[in-house]
Structure 1
Amino acid sequence: MTGDVAPESPPVDPGAAMEALLDRIADLEQRLAGADERQEMFAQALDAFEGAVTEAAAMDVSALLHPAGEEQSTSEPEPLDMVRLYEWVQEHIGAWAQRKVLRSQGGSGGLRWCPWWDLHPEAVTRLEALRKSWTGFVKLKDPTAMTIYYRDFFDRTMEALMNETGPFHACSPAGHGKGDFVPIAPPPWERDSVPSAAETAAAPLGGEVNGVGAVNPYRKN
């Protein structure tokens, strides 16, 4: 009994096989190049979208406060009215805002508040700026205006004032603490030299520092 004999496979042409392989490689390279282009286009589109969102957020507040066609005032800024500011702070912070604040001086962490905020120049300046912002926002008819005011102005001002390194860091509801101002060196033209960090650490700012520091280019001989 004889079995079926499988037909012989045609001989493989090495040249044709190599040509087919090269064609496949070229096709894959073309596809990869197209994918890279699409990826680059997608990345550029994403960057453009993120830039547009950032720009829109920056213009958000400005557009609300200064609608199109409304002329911005170029007059001199109004002088500080402490009576008006005190009454505004009392109404819009003292009788409205609720925060858990440290009750004793010298504690670590937590929020700080000074009932004698008017003794802190930074607090006075920031709260007056906040009052002016509030005055502008309450006049707007946009229903989101006050949300933007609280998010971008009120919350950030309170955070700057009440954090443990802010102007109220030495205060508590129990008493006012005299915090130190940020140290500033003498004017450049009044310095003989600039002390090194080690020399500054060895003497208080404004005191005598031993040793020779860097030559002061501002010094007038």
Structure 2
Amino acid sequence: MTLPQPGAAGDPIADLSALLGQLAADPSGIAPSAAEPTEAEPVYRNVEAFVGDYLAHVVERRLAAGPTSGVNWCPRWWAHPEAISRLYALWRAWETLRVSDPQTGMSIWWRDHLDPHLAALAAEYGPFSRCNPDKHTEPRPLPVEPAPPEVLAQLPDADAL
């Protein structure tokens, strides 16, 4: 998956739309066979609908604003690549668990999916740490230097590089 590069020429909305398209694509490229059962229709048409129509209404947390302590949240969540990836994963897990385990799936989703992802997003050093309900701060990627070829050559999959 290729993430939009900060400061790169181009429309950030288009870059994020492309990222969402990559997340939604079937990475295997294999179409399901006719013998496989068809999946249930999703309740939410995409991650934006899931966040806006469901998550924003069921998650009740005090939001950090000024000197008030609370959860860091960014109203432009879609402008943070990590948030898109985590919220997309939350949406897909929610859609899967509601069908595959109607008895306890939602409890599992809250405990194993939402709680850890929301904690990571809202953490002191998480992607929303420099945002608040009234302010969005552009994400900054981690600094990365190219790995030396001799380091990469030691990896088990070095032949694939």
- TM-score tier, shorter chain, comes to 0.5 to 0.7
Cα displacement (A) at 1:146: 1.2
SS in 1 for 2:65: coil
Q: Is the 8 A contact 1:108 1:164 kept in 2?
A: no
Q: TM-score, normalised by structure 1?
A: 0.45
SS in 1 for 2:132: coil
1:121 to 81, 84, 102: 81
Cα displacement (A) at 1:109: 6.2
Q: Is the 8 A contact 1:170 1:177 kept in 2?
A: yes
| Separation in 1, partners of 2:87, 2:74 | 13
1:167 to 127, 147, 152: 127
What is the aligned-residue identity percentage?
31
Q: Is the 8 A contact 2:61 2:70 kept in 1?
A: no
1:90 is matched with 52
Q: Is the 8 A contact 2:79 2:139 kept in 1?
A: no
Identify, as 1 or 2, the structure richer in helix.
Answer: 1
1:47 is matched with none
Q: TM-score, normalised by structure 2?
A: 0.61
2:146 is matched with 186
Superposition CA RMSD, Å: 2.9
| Separation in 1, partners of 2:101, 2:55 | 23
**2:56 matched to 1:103?**
no
Cα displacement (A) at 1:141: 4.5
Equivalent position amino acid for 1:102 in 2: A
SS in 1 for 2:46: helix
**2:107 matched to 1:154?**
no
Q: Based on CA coordinates, which of the two structures has the bigger radius of gyration?
A: 1
- Count of aligned pairs: 114
Q: Is the 8 A contact 1:130 1:154 kept in 2?
A: yes
Q: Which runs of structure 1 show a deviation greater than 6 angstroms over 4 or more consecutive aligned residues? A: none
Please say which of residues 169-178 and 107-116 is displaced more in the overlay: 107-116
Cα displacement (A) at 1:187: 3.5
1:133 is matched with 93
| Separation in 2, partners of 1:99, 1:77 | 41
SS in 2 for 1:171: coil
| Separation in 1, partners of 2:91, 2:109 | 11
Ranges in structure 1 where 5+ consecutive residues have no aligned partner: 1-72, 190-216
1:143-197 per-position Cα deviation (integer Å, ceiling 9, x unaligned): 22211111000111111111111011110011101242221113424xxxxxxxx
Q: Report matched runs for 1:28-47 at 5 Å.
A: none
Cα displacement (A) at 1:98: 1.2
